[in-house]
Chains A and B, each alone.
Chain A
Amino acid sequence: MIHTVKVADFSITPFGRYPTDGKFSGQRFRREVLLPLFRNQNIDTIQVDFNGIIPVGSSFIDEAFAGLIRDEGLNFEQVWGRLKIISDFPLYEIQIKEFLNEVRQGQ
Chain B
Amino acid sequence: MEPPSADVHTADAATPPGRAEAVTELFRRHNRALVGFLAARLDSEAEAQEVAQEAYVRLLQLEQPGAAGFLRAYLFRIAANLAVDRLRRRSVRARAPMNELFEEWLDTPTPDQRALADGEVRQVAEALRQLPREVSSVFVMHVIEGRSLQRIARETGVTDRMLRYRVARALAHCRQYLDGEASR
Whether chains A and B associate is: no
Residues of B with Cβ closer than 8 Å to A? none
Residues of A with Cβ closer than 8 Å to B? none
